[in-house]
Structure 1
Amino acid sequence: MTQTEKSIAQLIGDEQVAQYAEEGYFVLEKAIGPEDLELLRSAAQFSIDRLDAAMDAAGVDRIGINAKGKRYFSNMIYQQRPELRSFIFGPIMEQICRRVLGENAFLFWEQYVIKAGDPDTTFAWHQDSGYVHENHTPYLTCWIALDDVTEENGSVYLLPYSRSGIKSYIKHVPVETGDRVCYFGSDPGMPVIAPAGTIVCFSSTVIHRSGANLTDKLRQVYLLQYSPEVITNAEGTGPHGSFEPFLVDGKVAADQS
């Protein structure tokens, strides 16, 4: 094990693993070094440009939950920017997956979540599982801050299990923005105020939202999701999302280049 792997393994202690089981989340502050942070930032503008081009081609300002010049959820960027694989399947994510998921882990989803400075950049209360379907094993979301995240620029707000009272998939209601909403209560949630390089790890069944970016700068987040098994589509006829193996029986199976 390299020094980097040792430091990450030490960062994810039994306390974090227990908190994940009991509350659905834990936070690894400044877990990513400058080189990896720069790598992840390097494809952020590409992710915006790709969606802008798609909206321009369609003659629209919105595609799904994306709104031009406001909020972007640009997925599977690593398929066009393979240099990202060195992080996606690298030692930091390996240690997180081992501690949370165990001996088997598959990359399920990858995307940039970027908010421009605009009051119309909130994202409604949801579970990540609410964007899949009811019949799947909960998976791991790693919400990686590429900028310092504050309440002013659109922090994520979590409802830990002890506050929501919910640990399983719940039905979501679609709204006109494309969001799917699962919580209509008064709890504002726990804001995650975090410096760049922080990884917020939470279960796909944790209810969360994010606020608007009210600053004049972008708020950039990189999102990686891993599952302990291949998640199939609702019909059971094929995979939903990615199905690239990362860990198989405890061994790294992914190509990192």
Structure 2
Amino acid sequence: MSFQFTQAQVDIFNREGCLLIPDYLSPNEVKEILDHTNRLIDEFDITTHPLTKFTTENDGDHIGDEYFLKSSENISFFLEPAAFDKDNNLIKSKDKSINKIGHNLLIDEVYRKHTINYKSKKIISRLNYRDPRVLQSMIICKQPQIGGEVPSHQDGVFLYTEPQSAIGFWIALEDCDETNGCLSYLPGSHLNSPIGKRFVKAETGGTKFIYLNEDTEDSYKNSSENYKLLKCKKGSLILINHSVIHRSNLNFSENSRFAYAFHVIEGDAIYDEKNWLQIPYTGGTKFTKLYDV
């Protein structure tokens, strides 16, 4: 059966800010991505790694790390903070210590073919993108028992364009529910929550957050009962608007929650040179053109 992206789905996405599309990938496609990811993890030599941890906190250690900045153009591994003890010794096995693999998986043919294809092109075309570019592709692991919380945020903070244009493609590689940290979001928050801070390269090296609006953090403070859970089966796609407020909780379960995500921006929007993600990492916007491939 050919993939369909209907006007009704477009309307829901525009109204809600998120859209769940079941069965975006077939079971065989999911297996191919997971098997390939596990091969990369097996081949990953942790003894030569700088032990760069990934955290989404504003003062996280990773944000000043050159390894993190260089990851914009290659395949890099980031570790889960909870995989270390208080003396910074790794206490989990290698395969259970990885938080994320990113941020340019398009250089790998397996990830590339599941990113740039007729389905993603159809979605982006129906959303009226003229010259879409693909960037920030990654595997998110959400490990059993230690998979960290991702607090409320907006993707436009990290991929800032004028006008705002980033769309997240978040694909579940395993079943997701409230026990293993499924996504949740504030429906319609993209309509009244303009991007009020940015994650940028710092003048002295590394990265930092800068605030455009002092009340930005207040917009993220909302009762949990207002968040809508996005429980889904493996193979599902969740589309995420640049300004919708979303999050995921800790994974306290015995099950991992692997996902593959990538982002698309409008090519004729202004992609700010201060943005943390540049290709090449020293400065530039050599992002893959979705329609030209």
Q: Does 1:245 align with 2:286?
A: no
3-state SS of 1:219 partner? coil
Query: Pick from 243, 247, 250: which aligns with 1:212?
Result: 250
Return the letter of the residue paired with 1:39: E
Query: Pick from 71, 96, 103: which aligns with 2:99?
Result: 71
Using the size of structure 2 for normalisation, the TM-score is: 0.69
Counterparts of 1:45-194 in structure 2, within 5 Å, are 45-46=38-39, 48=41, 53=46, 57-59=49-51, 61=53, 64=62, 66-67=79-80, 68=83, 69=97, 71-79=99-107, 81-119=108-146, 121-133=148-160, 135-161=162-188, 166-171=192-197, 182=217, 183-188=220-225, 189-194=227-232
Return the letter of the residue paired with 2:116: F
Counterpart in the other structure of 1:250: none
Cα 1:216/1:179, change in 2 over 3 Å: farther
| Percent of aligned positions that are identical | 18
3-state SS of 1:141 partner? strand
Return the letter of the residue paired with 1:8: F
**Tell me, which stretches of 5 or more residues in structure 1 are unaligned?**
248-252
In structure 1, C-alpha distance between the alignment counterparts of 2:44 and 2:193, rounded to whole Å: 33
Using the size of structure 1 for normalisation, the TM-score is: 0.77
Return the offset for 1:204: 1.5
**Tell me, which stretches of 5 or more residues in structure 2 are unaligned?**
55-60, 63-77, 84-96, 201-206, 210-215
Q: Does 1:233 align with 2:273?
A: yes
> Structure 1, residues 50-98: CA drift from partner, whole Å, max 9, x if none?
87738x532555562842526325321231x223222211122121111
Cα 1:150/1:104, change in 2 over 3 Å: same
3-state SS of 2:28 partner? helix
In structure 1, C-alpha distance between the alignment counterparts of 2:37 and 2:244, rounded to whole Å: 26
Aligned pair count? Answer: 235
> Structure 1, residues 138-178: CA drift from partner, whole Å, max 9, x if none?
2111110000111101100111225x75253122699xxx9
In structure 2, C-alpha distance between the alignment counterparts of 1:136 and 1:46, rounded to whole Å: 39
Cα 1:45/1:74, change in 2 over 3 Å: farther
Query: Pick from 22, 27, 32: which aligns with 1:29?
Result: 22
Residues 130, 267 of structure 2: 8 Å contact kept? no
3-state SS of 2:49 partner? helix
- Please provide the CA RMSD for this pair: 3.2
In structure 1, C-alpha distance between the alignment counterparts of 2:15 and 2:223, rounded to whole Å: 22
In structure 2, C-alpha distance between the alignment counterparts of 1:143 and 1:94, rounded to whole Å: 15
